[in-house]
Amino acid sequence: MATIYDVSFLAGVSLATVSRVVNNTGKVSDKTRQKVHDAMAKLDYRPNTIAQSLASNRSNSIGVLVSQLDGPFYGPMMREVESALRAANKHVIIAAGHSDAAQEKDGVEFLLSRGCDALIVDAEILSNGYLVELCQGKTPVVLINRHVDGIDERCVHLNNLQGGLLASRHVLEKGHKQIAYISGPLFKLDARERLEGHRQALAEQGIAFDENLFYEGDFREEGGYEAMAQLLSRGRDFTAVVCANDQMASGAIAQCLERGLRVPEDISFVGFDNIPFPRYISPKLTTVCNPIQDMGRMAAHWVLREVYDQTDVTFCHRFEPELVVRDSVITR
C-alpha cells in the first residue's frame, strides 16, 4: 500500500503538501495539486485512516448503541444513521444493549474506549443520571428516542403524549366508550407519556379511567398476547384496545383471533409506531406513525454539525406523530 511519502516522492513535493491536497486544507497551487493528484492516481494511494486518526486525534467513527439489533423498530433508524454518516465518510460502529442494564452500560464504555468521535445512544435501561453524566463527558453524545430533562439539547425524541392523544381520540371519535389500554413498561418515559395521552383523551370526553381496563405490558409481541388474555379474563366489557406499540397490538390481536374473536368486528385495535409488518396482516393495523427514520437522520445530523462542523445540515429535536388510519377500528 502506497503511503503519503511515496506520493510526495513521486510528485516531487513535501509530505505536508500532499496532506494539504488530501484534506483540502491550506492553499496549494493548481499546478502542484495536479501533480499530487496524478501521483496519487498512479499509486492508487488511499490514506491510512488509522494514521490519520492518530495524528489528528479524530477517529471519524461514530458509535451507535441500540437496545436491540433484531426487532422491527431499529432497522429503519440504523438505516438512516448509516446512510447519513457514510455519505459524510464517517463510519458507524455498532453495539447492542440487548435490553440489559449491564450490557447497555458495557456497550457505551466499549464504544467510548474505541475512540469514537461521538455516540448516538438509544438507551432503554440506563438511568437518567447516568445519561446526564455521560453527556457531560469528553465525547459528544446524542440520545435518540428518549427525552431526559436537563440535557434537552442532546435529545432527539417523539412527542409521545400527542401520539397517545391521537390514538385514543381516534377510537373515541369512532364511538367507542369502553376502551382497554395495553401500556409499555412504566419505568420508561415514553410509555408513561403515551399513557398520559390516553388519559387526557378519555378526560376530554368525560370518561373515567378504569384500572380494570389497563394492563402494563413490555412492548413485545408476547407481552401483548399475554396482556390480551388477562384483559379478557377480567370479565369487563370493552370494544376497543389501544396498544402502546404495534408489536403488542400484534400479539394482542393474535390472542383474540385464537379465541375466535373477530377484529375489528368484535374488538377494534390501535397500535403505535407504524412498523412495517402489520400492514400485511388482516386487518391492516391503524396506528400512530413514529418517524424513527427521521429521528435517526437527525441524530446523525447532530453529530455532523456538532462534531464535524457541518453547518449546512438541518436539525430538529422533537418530532410529531401522525395518525395512520387503516382497517382495525370499526365505528360503533
Partner DNA sequence: CTGTTAGCGCGTTCAA
Partner DNA sequence: TTGAACGCGCTAACAG
Residue with cell 390480551: 228
CA atoms within 13 A of residue 185's CA, in its CB half-sphere = 9
Cα–Cα dist 157/120, whole Å: 13
Query: Could you tell me which stretch among 3-11, 75-83, 92-100, 315-323 binds DNA (CB under 7 A)?
Result: 3-11
Given 47, 72, 140, 185, the residue binding DNA (CB under 7 A): 47
Least distance to its own copies from the beta carbon of 328, Å?
13
103 touching DNA, by CB under 7 A: no
**155 to 214, contacts with its own copies by CB under 8 A?**
none
Total residues binding its own copies (CB under 8 A): 48
53 touching its own copies, by CB under 8 A: yes
Q: How close are the terminal C-alpha atoms of the chain, in Å?
A: 72
Given the complex with DNA, which of 37 and 284 has the nearer CB atom?
A: 37
69 touching DNA, by CB under 7 A: no
Q: Helix (H, G, I), strand (E, B), or coil: what is residue 291?
A: coil
Least distance to DNA from the beta carbon of 14, Å?
3
Cα–Cα dist 151/133, whole Å: 10
Cα–Cα dist 189/198, whole Å: 14
Crossing angle of helices 15-23 and 4-11, in 10° steps, is 110
Cα–Cα dist 308/135, whole Å: 17
Residue 150's contacts (CB-CB under 8 Å, 6 or more residues apart) are 132
Given the complex with its own copies, which of 72 and 185 has the nearer CB atom?
A: 72
CA atoms within 13 A of residue 255's CA, in its CB half-sphere = 22
The DSSP call for residue 24 is: T
Query: Which residue from 158, 154, 148 is spatially nearest to 303, judged by alpha carbons?
Result: 154
Spacing of C-alpha 158 from chain mean position: 10
Partners of 266 in beta bridges: none
76 touching its own copies, by CB under 8 A: yes
3 touching DNA, by CB under 7 A: yes
Residue 13 binding result from DNA, its own copies, none, given CB thresholds of 5 to 8 Å by partner type: DNA
Given 52, 83, 99, 159, the residue binding DNA (CB under 7 A): 52
259 touching its own copies, by CB under 8 A: no
Helices (H), the chain: 4-11, 15-23, 30-43, 49-56, 74-87, 101-113, 128-136, 160-173, 189-204, 221-233, 246-258, 292-306
Three cell numbers written together for 102: 449491564
Given 9, 37, 88, 115, the residue binding its own copies (CB under 8 A): 115
Given the complex with DNA, which of 19 and 160 has the nearer CB atom?
A: 19
**147 to 206, contacts with DNA by CB under 7 A?**
none
1 touching DNA, by CB under 7 A: yes
Given 24, 25, 89, 113, the residue binding DNA (CB under 7 A): 25
Residue 25 binding result from its own copies, DNA, none, given CB thresholds of 5 to 8 Å by partner type: DNA
Q: Which residues bind DNA (CB under 7 A)?
A: 1, 3-5, 12-17, 19-20, 22-23, 25-29, 31-33, 45, 47-48, 51-52, 54-57
Q: Which residues bind its own copies (CB under 8 A)?
A: 46, 48-51, 53-54, 59, 61, 68-72, 74-76, 78-79, 82-83, 86, 91-96, 98, 107, 110, 113-115, 221, 225, 250-251, 253-254, 257, 276-277, 279-282, 284
